[in-house]
Structure 1
Amino acid sequence: MTDANTTAFTNPSTFILLGIPGLEVAHVWISIPFCTMYVIAILGNFAILFIVKREPSLHGPMYYFLCMLAITDLVLSTSTLPKILAIFWFNSREIDFSACLTQMFFIHCFSEIESGIFAAMAFDRYVAICHPLRHSTILTNSLVMKIGLVILLRGSILILPCPLLARQWPYCRTNIIPHTQCENMYVVRLACADTRISSYYGLFVLYCRIGLDVSFIILSYIQILRAIFSLPTKDARLKTFGTCGSHICVILAFYIPTLFASLTSRFGHNLPRYFQVFISNVYLLVPPMLNPVIYGVRTKEIRNRLLRLFTHKGTKAFSSGVGPQTDLPGVAGW
């Protein structure tokens, strides 16, 4: 590893991921919560997909968005966790140069896609609460699929320049990445060239994610709150606002660590390196684990069907299509 630090080279065939610098002796212990989060993320998101696919009554816009979120979380966690666990358990630190750039693309692309899905969910909540009688006519299955395609294309097109720019830089100082995965900023810092264009483009991508998407979500919830406060009774206001609870929880779980990780990686030079790496892992690992848990607990339809799946009770009521009733069409769920 010392030789890799001192030997001059250009465009190395492999990079070396250090894991969490300064905490190498604790890697095995750190792997326990990481592995637990990964297992929960895999089982939880597959359970969401299985339940929605199995139940025709859940074939609606908000559950399609939830399936998109589950798939995104599966890809996001699987693109990072297996390699992280290999580092922690087997000291397998090498990663091929092309594989590193591919991992970089998947991490940032699907983070962008997840942000777009949250914005689409906010639009769904806006229509369900502000225009409940038109919810089914506005958010048709066809429109939901088009929104999903636009989100996928936006994320792919926005992020594709990051690995393309990273590939063109010469790497003549070191191939050691002090991180658990190939994040754009950490890879670009190894280049011995003027990489300001990569830094500026990274800030532009962050603006699209945090600025545009969060602004759209905030505007949607301003309209939602106006509609809620216009309801005649306190119970009606609380019940309607409660339908947004899951969405608000997952938004906070995603954007707060994302913003904090982005700021610390760019401006937190005085912070310990292990703290920066740990925060970066939080925004990649925690949301995929929390999202199915939050929706599974707070969404009555999914919770009931999950319980029936394991207990095999209530089959008659389930097959007869009896489900929870709601005062507003399209509002139940989130």
Structure 2
Amino acid sequence: MTIHQNGNISTEASDFLLNCFARSPSWQLWLSLPLSLLFLLAMGANATLLITIRLEASLHEPMYYLLSLLSLLDMVLCLTVIPKVLAIFWFDLRSISFFACFFQMFIMNSFLAMESCTFMVMAYDRYVAICHPLRYPSIITDQFVVKAVIFILARNSLTILLIPILSGRLHYCGRNVIENCICANMSVSRLSCDDITINRLYQFAFGWALLGSDLILIFLSYTLILRAVLRLKSEGAVAKALSTCGSHFILILFFSTILLVFVLTHVAKKKVSPDVPVLLNVLHHVIPAALNPIVYGVRTQEIKQGIQRLLKKGW
């Protein structure tokens, strides 16, 4: 029970209810099948990629270690979000405990930031490979990967940790229905009886600082790569250089395009259904995860050959 300054007494909620697509309940029926197929594809494709890189000695190189990290992040994000969404669709299990909600909030925010940071490190890897090929073996080493992974985990976990802490310290004394399929920070914080200005400012400042700095560094890396490629005189060298960056660039497009559309729908929220941002938020956790390993598997000859060898051996 909470007694407010104005003398009103209210009982704090003990859990939340995820009101997924309340305005468009028919969406749940036709979304459940493709969403479950995307989830299975994401888990299977990423698991295959991880096993291939683990068992194939020829793939024990820094670039593939970074790709393994990306696959692990994708799998954790999928497992954190999609099973609960499908449980709501199929069994109407809308209830989620406070701890589970804030834990999901932390995983979603921190792991998405980790993915962005991983793309930035991979862009630097491609920059060194193309702009400084002779120095690549001495710069991009196993030690570099270990330090990069520690940086990725520490920077984003510690920075994002305050988001669920700020939301968790609020008093939820009235509504407990989250107008979302997931425990997004602002969707949860809006239910509080307290002032959430700090929550808004922190998410905006640090969210854009992390993602913005990563995107700027990625853009800078590819600008330098493009400049170096244009200086190459051999057509074969140009094609090979662009091929080594193609897969990575496609992954960045998957990650950033859905994020950009999500932001634009929020800006134009008066012109689109409120369920559209909710749908994009869910899809952003599964579509890149499903497509990332496929793109690398199709476009990278070494991975493709490694998968073929493992299939012949029967794993």
Q: Would you say the 8 A contact 2:70–2:115 is kept in 1?
A: yes
**SS of the counterpart of 1:22?**
coil
**SS of the counterpart of 1:79?**
helix
Deviates more, 1:41-50 or 1:204-213: 204-213
Q: Over aligned residue pairs, what C-alpha RMSD do you find?
A: 1.6
Deviates more, 1:165-174 or 1:136-145: 165-174
Aligned partner letter, 2:131: C
| Separation in structure 1 between the aligned mates of residue 37 and residue 206 of structure 2, nearest angstrom | 31
Match of 1:193 in 2: 194
TM-aligned CA deviation for residue 115 of structure 1: 0.4
Q: Would you say the 8 A contact 1:185–1:265 is kept in 2?
A: no
The answer on 1:169 being equivalent to 2:204 is no
Equivalence map 1:175-254=2 (5 Å): 175-254=176-255
Once the two structures are superposed, residues 119-178 of structure 1 have per-residue CA deviations (whole angstroms, 9 ceiling, x without a partner) of 000000001001111111101101111111110011101110111000111223310011
Deviates more, 1:16-25 or 1:83-92: 16-25
Match of 2:115 in 1: 114
Q: Would you say the 8 A contact 2:113–2:211 is kept in 1?
A: no
| Separation in structure 1 between the aligned mates of residue 206 and residue 52 of structure 2, nearest angstrom | 34
Match of 1:148 in 2: 149
| Separation in structure 2 between the aligned mates of residue 150 and residue 11 of structure 1, nearest angstrom | 39
| Separation in structure 2 between the aligned mates of residue 153 and residue 269 of structure 1, nearest angstrom | 38
**SS of the counterpart of 1:80?**
helix
Match of 2:101 in 1: 100
The TM-score with structure 2 as length reference comes to 0.93
Match of 1:3 in 2: none
Q: Would you say the 8 A contact 1:44–1:293 is kept in 2?
A: yes
Equivalence map 1:60-99=2 (5 Å): 60-99=61-100
TM-aligned CA deviation for residue 270 of structure 1: 4.1
Q: Would you say the 8 A contact 1:20–1:180 is kept in 2?
A: yes
The answer on 1:58 being equivalent to 2:59 is yes
Deviates more, 1:91-100 or 1:271-280: 271-280
Aligned partner letter, 1:221: Y
Deviates more, 1:115-124 or 1:205-214: 205-214
**SS of the counterpart of 2:286?**
helix
Once the two structures are superposed, residues 298-326 of structure 1 have per-residue CA deviations (whole angstroms, 9 ceiling, x without a partner) of 1111111112322459xxxxxxxxxxxxx
The answer on 1:32 being equivalent to 2:15 is no
**SS of the counterpart of 2:17?**
strand
| Separation in structure 1 between the aligned mates of residue 199 and residue 263 of structure 2, nearest angstrom | 14
Aligned partner letter, 1:163: P
Once the two structures are superposed, residues 183-202 of structure 1 have per-residue CA deviations (whole angstroms, 9 ceiling, x without a partner) of 11111111122211111111
**SS of the counterpart of 2:193?**
coil
The TM-score with structure 1 as length reference comes to 0.88
Q: Would you say the 8 A contact 2:122–2:248 is kept in 1?
A: yes
Match of 2:5 in 1: none
> Size of the alignment, in residue pairs?
306
Q: Would you say the 8 A contact 1:210–1:259 is kept in 2?
A: no
Structure 1 unaligned spans of 5+ = 1-7, 314-334
Match of 1:327 in 2: none
| Separation in structure 2 between the aligned mates of residue 84 and residue 265 of structure 1, nearest angstrom | 21
Q: 1:11 and 1:292, CA in 2 relative to 1: closer, same or farther beyond 3 A?
A: farther
The answer on 1:158 being equivalent to 2:193 is no
Aligned partner letter, 1:125: R
TM-aligned CA deviation for residue 42 of structure 1: 0.5
Structure 2 unaligned spans of 5+ = 1-8
| Separation in structure 2 between the aligned mates of residue 32 and residue 241 of structure 1, nearest angstrom | 37
**SS of the counterpart of 1:297?**
helix
**SS of the counterpart of 1:15?**
strand
**SS of the counterpart of 1:16?**
strand
| Separation in structure 1 between the aligned mates of residue 166 and residue 201 of structure 2, nearest angstrom | 12
Aligned partner letter, 2:302: E
Aligned partner letter, 2:212: G
TM-aligned CA deviation for residue 214 of structure 1: 0.3
TM-aligned CA deviation for residue 263 of structure 1: 4.6
Match of 1:287 in 2: 288
Q: Percent identity?
A: 39
Q: Would you say the 8 A contact 1:9–1:171 is kept in 2?
A: no
Q: 1:278 and 1:251, CA in 2 relative to 1: closer, same or farther beyond 3 A?
A: same
